[in-house]
Structure 1
């Protein structure tokens, strides 16, 4: 029987989707790809595949999950399987440099950014900002990795050469102009099936990048999910949000075969929009959704159900033989 295969490495971020799939009676199977065995002499099972692999997988002890997933996605695509958020989506997920290049290609403004490898080059790159405030972040990011605000090169030099410096997993540190929002918030635009779902306003007064996931393990500095400050929620769905930037985002997603994503932007004092993140492993905040009556995982589950029906309608079911390849959640074995 054909089913939806969910590729991921963090069950806490996937349980909300699987619950919705169960509600809609959609057959599914999880592939937890923190490790495994991939036999290239066998074909993948029939069905559709959705990847939720995260750029921050290495912070949960899954150092090579993203690298392994890239090979699995290539294998699936080589066999003509329907993959949502496939190889290209993962390529952008693990590289902000590639995200910014792709955004710029489609006319989306991003903050001035310099990528550097090596501590001396990080300091040298910061000199290009000529006394203006700037931030550092990891190229392969997520979880607010490496995000620090600096007002001088000397302060950066002390950090880079001190004990608190965070070495990026890919060795690439980004030095980026600091865009200050007059009201200390960013906007995150959610897309399912390449279509705009809703925008959420995120309070950034206590951090630069905030994860909306209920199970987020970032810590209070970067992700105080569900908390309230002065009765004001951190995450609020914006009713009736509309901006020309949405059409540009849709073009970016279509050009890169990205089916599900959350794209974040910030506005400066003059109201200019600067986009700084494409999250292809998007999560949703349950409090914000409950208040608005809009539910991202429900819409995603509905979309996957439709895609599975379309796939099964177009595909003649073939009974498996003893030589067929069988998939398990953690690895691949022959039946």
Structure 2
């Protein structure tokens, strides 16, 4: 049995992780969630399974693995594998509605939001929220499935034309458009439910603020390492504990209207900042490998 199996889909994002594992001599194999699996086969594929399935996978293939991987990870857990960022984490990663509920349940401010599953309900939700607003796909990636509306007639025309954003699970969010101070969001990364690092991300258009290596080249996105306020750092750690998130990021922006820190996204697929030595001065993949080795040791 291998010590580690990495379940991944994106063709480029995890090269730095694989290189760090190779440099440390870790016994691992990396596989894509393709092919079939037998629900009666109760043999674990490795001592530790690390889930790296991206929500944006549906942008690369209509036959995306999100729901398939959720069931597979749960099956491997039942077979005895230690699953890092397991099925429950993946299911919350795949639902902005569940993320917002979790954030609000922890007492954190979020953008005013209504969750709907019918186009017929969008107008009433919009009237309750007020304009400007955005309509978001519940499952999105790299800014996909987000449209801003400034007036009710504009929204009505899009609803009538059947041109609302589409979410692969049929769920939409109608959400207040929050003017982020200086056009900047803060992404706070955690590892083993503790603060790892934080960056401010700017540029990349109104919604596409993905800091991953493959998203950054030519995107106009800029990233700066920051030391977030203790309240923000503590909030990110509270989110990680509540979700039982092994590794992942929480995104927050300062509402320029009232100075409120509004949390709006949880990213269980944390593939870390591009050019980490340049941005952070150190490589977080080394600490991630340390964590994975500790999980392998516990699973022996």
Output the TM-score relative to the length of structure 1. 0.83
CA apart distance, 1:45: 3.2
Any residues of structure 2 matched to 1:1-335 within 5 Å, and which?
Answer: 1-61=1-61, 63-130=63-130, 132-162=131-161, 165-204=164-203, 206-216=205-215, 225-227=216-218, 234-238=222-226, 240-269=227-256, 270-287=258-275, 289-312=277-300
Contact conserved, 1:139 with 1:174, CA < 8 A, in 2?
yes
**Would the alpha carbon gap of residues 247 and 291 (structure 1) be closer, same or farther in structure 2, given more than 3 Å must change?**
closer
CA apart distance, 1:260: 0.6
Structure 1: which 5+ runs fail to align?
217-224, 313-335
Separation in structure 1 between the aligned mates of residue 273 and residue 204 of structure 2, nearest angstrom = 18
Higher relative contact order (CA 8 A, sep 6+): 1
**Would the alpha carbon gap of residues 125 and 163 (structure 1) be closer, same or farther in structure 2, given more than 3 Å must change?**
closer
Structure with the bigger percentage of helix: 2
Residue-by-residue CA offset, 1:297-319 (whole Å, 9 max, x unaligned): 2321221122223333xxxxxxx
Contact conserved, 1:237 with 1:288, CA < 8 A, in 2?
no
**Would the alpha carbon gap of residues 72 and 252 (structure 1) be closer, same or farther in structure 2, given more than 3 Å must change?**
same
Contact conserved, 1:137 with 1:144, CA < 8 A, in 2?
no
CA apart distance, 1:174: 0.7
Question: Alignment RMSD, CA only?
Answer: 2.1
Residue-by-residue CA offset, 1:33-88 (whole Å, 9 max, x unaligned): 04422342331134111111222222211535111111111112213321110011
Separation in structure 1 between the aligned mates of residue 265 and residue 56 of structure 2, nearest angstrom = 14
Structure 2: which 5+ runs fail to align?
none
SS of residue matched to 1:12: coil
Residue-by-residue CA offset, 1:103-131 (whole Å, 9 max, x unaligned): 1111121111111222222222111123x
Contact conserved, 1:135 with 1:147, CA < 8 A, in 2?
yes
Separation in structure 2 between the aligned mates of residue 62 and residue 11 of structure 1, nearest angstrom = 16
**Would the alpha carbon gap of residues 35 and 128 (structure 1) be closer, same or farther in structure 2, given more than 3 Å must change?**
farther
Contact conserved, 2:21 with 2:289, CA < 8 A, in 1?
yes
Residue-by-residue CA offset, 1:223-277 (whole Å, 9 max, x unaligned): xx24586xxx611111x33321222321221222210111101101232110010
Number of residue-to-residue matches in the alignment: 299
More deviation, 159-168/14-23? 159-168
Q: Residue in 2 aligned with 1:325? A: none
Separation in structure 2 between the aligned mates of residue 251 and residue 84 of structure 1, nearest angstrom = 18
CA apart distance, 1:27: 1.3
SS of residue matched to 1:48: strand
**Would the alpha carbon gap of residues 68 and 13 (structure 1) be closer, same or farther in structure 2, given more than 3 Å must change?**
same
More deviation, 258-267/242-251? 242-251
**Would the alpha carbon gap of residues 172 and 149 (structure 1) be closer, same or farther in structure 2, given more than 3 Å must change?**
same
